[in-house]
A and B are shown apart, each in its own frame.
Chain A
Amino acid sequence: MKKIWVLILREWKNFFHTPFAVIIIPLYLILCGTYFYARLDQYMNMTNPNETVQKIAGLNVTIHLLTPFSKDLINVLTFIIPLLTMRSFSEEKKMGTYDLLVSYPLRPGEILLGKYLGSVSLVLFLLGISFIFPAVIFWKGEPYLPQILSTYLGYVLFIFFYVAVGVVGSLFTENQIVAAIISYGVFFAAIVIQWLAYISGAPWDRIFSNFLLVAHLDSFRSGLIFVGDITAYLCVTSLFLLWGYLKLKQHFSQ
Chain B
Amino acid sequence: MIQIQNLNHHYGRFHALRNINITIPQGSIAGFIGPNGAGKSTLLKILAGFLTPSSGEVFIDDISLSQHPIEARKKIGYMPETPYLYREMRVSEYLDFIGSLKGLSASVRKKEKENLIVKCGLEKIHRKLIGKLSKGNRQRVTLAQALLGNSTVILLDEPTSAMDPAQVIEIRNFIKSLKGSATVLMSSHILSEVSQICDYIIFIRDGQIQHQGATQSVAELSGKTSEVRVCFSNMEESWIDLLKALPGGEFLERTGCVLRMRIHDENSFFPCLFQLIVEKRLPLREIVSGENQLEALFQSEVRS
Query: Which residues of chain B in 77-116 are interfacial with respect to chain A, using CB atoms and an 8 Å cutoff?
Result: 78, 80, 82, 84-89, 97-98, 100-103
Say whether A106 faces chain B, with CB atoms less than 8 Å apart: yes
Say whether A48 faces chain B, with CB atoms less than 8 Å apart: no
Which residues of chain B are near A13, meaning CB under 8 Å? Answer: 88-89
Contact of A105 among B50, B66, B88, B103 (CB under 8 A): B103
Complex: A42 Cα to B101 Cα, angstroms: 52
Complex: A3 Cα to B109 Cα, angstroms: 14
Which residues of chain A are near B103, meaning CB under 8 Å? Answer: 2-3, 105
Per-position binary interface string of chain A over residues 86-97, scored 1 when its CB falls under 8 Å from any chain B CB and 0 otherwise: 000000000111
Q: In this complex, what residue of B is CB-closest to A114? A: B101
Say whether B261 faces chain A, with CB atoms less than 8 Å apart: no
Which residues of chain B are near A206, meaning CB under 8 Å? Answer: none
The interface on chain A, measured as residues whose beta carbon lies within 8 A of the other chain's beta carbons, has a size of 26
Query: Which residues of chain A in 213-254 are interfacial with respect to chain B, using CB atoms and an 8 Å cutoff?
Result: 250-254
Q: In this complex, what residue of B is CB-closest to A108? A: B69
Complex: A13 Cα to B93 Cα, angstroms: 11
Once A6-B100, A104-B102 are accepted as A-B contacts, the answer to whether A250 and B86 lie under 8 Å apart by CB is: no
Say whether B197 faces chain A, with CB atoms less than 8 Å apart: no
B53 touches A254 (CB 8 A): yes
Once A2-B100, A3-B100, A253-B52 are accepted as A-B contacts, the answer to whether A100 and B76 lie under 8 Å apart by CB is: no
Contact of A104 among B45, B53, B73, B80 (CB under 8 A): B73
The interface on chain B, measured as residues whose beta carbon lies within 8 A of the other chain's beta carbons, has a size of 32
Which residues of chain A are near B69, meaning CB under 8 Å? Answer: 252-253
Contact of A103 among B78, B86, B88, B100 (CB under 8 A): B78
Which residues of chain B are near A41, meaning CB under 8 Å? Answer: none
Complex: A116 Cα to B5 Cα, angstroms: 37
A97 touches B84 (CB 8 A): yes
> Chain A's nearest CB lies how many Å from the CB of B112?
15
> Chain B's nearest CB lies how many Å from the CB of A89?
14
Say whether B48 faces chain A, with CB atoms less than 8 Å apart: yes
Complex: A17 Cα to B97 Cα, angstroms: 15
> Chain B's nearest CB lies how many Å from the CB of A51?
54
Query: Which residues of chain A in 1-46 are interfacial with respect to chain B, using CB atoms and an 8 Å cutoff?
Result: 2-3, 6-7, 10, 13-14, 17-18
Which residues of chain A are near B86, meaning CB under 8 Å? Answer: 10, 14, 95, 97
Using a CB–CB distance below 8 Å, which chain B residues touch chain A? 45, 48-55, 66, 69-71, 73-74, 76, 78, 80, 82, 84-89, 97-98, 100-103, 145
Known A-B contacts: A95-B86, A105-B70, A106-B101. Give 8 more (CB < 8 A): A3-B100, A10-B86, A95-B87, A105-B74, A105-B103, A251-B50, A252-B69, A254-B52
Report the 8 A-B pairs with minimum CB-CB distance, sorted nearest first.
Answer: A96-B84, A105-B73, A103-B48, A6-B100, A17-B88, A105-B74, A252-B69, A103-B78
Using a CB–CB distance below 8 Å, which chain A residues touch chain B? 2-3, 6-7, 10, 13-14, 17-18, 95-97, 99-107, 250-254
Chosen A-B contacts, 9 in total, with CB atoms closer than 8 Å, are A13-B88, A17-B88, A103-B73, A104-B73, A105-B71, A106-B101, A251-B51, A252-B69, A254-B54
